[in-house]
Amino acid sequence: MPLLTENNQPDQAGEIDQNALNQDNLTATETEMETLPSSDQIATTTIATTTPEAVPEGTELSLRFGADSDNDGLTDIEEILLSSGAIELDTDGDGYTDGAELVNLYDPAGTGKLTANSNISLYENKTFAYSLLYPSTWQTSINGGDDSLMFKSGDNQFIQVIIQPNVNEQELDAWYMEQLGILTINEADRVSGVNWQGLKSSDSLNIYLMDKKQNYIFSLTYSPGSGSVLEYFNIFKMMVKSFNLKD
C-alpha cells in the first residue's frame, strides 16, 4: 500500500533490493561528534515503497550509492555541491571527515556550522511551521499546496516533504503500522531529530514524523528520480537532521 497519497507520489521508486546497495559507502562517517546511523540499519530488507509507473510490477530496481573517490562518506557529486574536495577526505583539516561534518550540520568546506556554507540555504514553511536546510542551487517547487514541497537537484533527483492530516488522530506508531500493514515496529526503524521522534522505512529513504499536537504526518522522502544511483543520500540525511518543527 502506498504511503503517500496518489497525487503526491514521487514519479519513481519501486521494489528496492536493499542487498544490492553498496554498504561500504555508508560506513565512512565514523566520528566522535555523535553516533551516526548505522549502515546496518540502512540496507537489510526489501520493502515496497511507492508504485512506479515506469517499472512493471514485480520488477526489482537495484539502487546503489554514487562514487565516493576519497571515501569520506560524501559522493563526488555531493562534494561538488558543497565545494568540498572530492579527493580530500577532510577538506578543512579539522580532524573530521567531510561526510561526518555534513550529517552533523557542520561545514565540510570550512570552519563553523553548515549554514556558513554558501551552497546551503534555509527553507522555512510558515503554514506548517517547520524549517530545514537544503542545497541552494536546488529548485524548490510546491505541488498543489504548501503541504507538498519538492527540492530537486540539477540532475533530477529529488527530496520531498509531504504533509498529510492525521485524520484518524492516531499516534505515529499506530499510523505507521497501519500504513505498512505490520503488527510490530522494528526498533531499528526509530529515528529522532532536533525536536521530534520519527520512524523510517527500512531502506531509510522515507522518514515519518508528527508535529507535537499530532495534527499532521510529515513525510520526508528521497528519490533518485528515474535513475538508480543515490547521489544525495547524505544531503537527505542532512535535510532530515536539520528538520525543525517550530511548535
Residues interacting with Ca ion, by CB under 5 A?
68, 70, 72, 74, 90, 92, 94, 96
Nearer to Ca ion, 86 or 161 (CB): 86
Cα atoms found within 13 Å of the Cα of residue 153, Cβ hemisphere only:
22
Nearer to Ca ion, 108 or 198 (CB): 108
Nearer to Ca ion, 72 or 189 (CB): 72
Q: Residue written as cell 502506498?
A: 2
Dihedral angle, C-alpha 151, 134, 191, 70, nearest 10 °: 110
Nearer to Ca ion, 83 or 244 (CB): 83
Per DSSP, 172 falls in state H
Shortest distance (Å) from residue 240 CB to Ca ion: 20
Shortest distance (Å) from residue 91 CB to Ca ion: 6
Nearer to Ca ion, 31 or 166 (CB): 31
Nearer to Ca ion, 92 or 189 (CB): 92
As a whole number of angstroms, the distance between CA 227 and CA 70 comes to 23
Shortest distance (Å) from residue 111 CB to Ca ion: 9
- What's the grid cell of residue 55? 517499472
Shortest distance (Å) from residue 92 CB to Ca ion: 5
Shortest distance (Å) from residue 76 CB to Ca ion: 6
> Which SS3 state, helix, strand or coil, does residue 164 take?
strand
Shortest distance (Å) from residue 86 CB to Ca ion: 6
Between the two ends of the chain, the Cα-to-Cα distance in Å is 31
As a whole number of angstroms, the distance between CA 66 and CA 231 comes to 5
Where helices occur in the chain by DSSP H, the ranges are 76-82, 98-103, 172-180, 233-242
Pairing of strands 197-200, 206-210: antiparallel
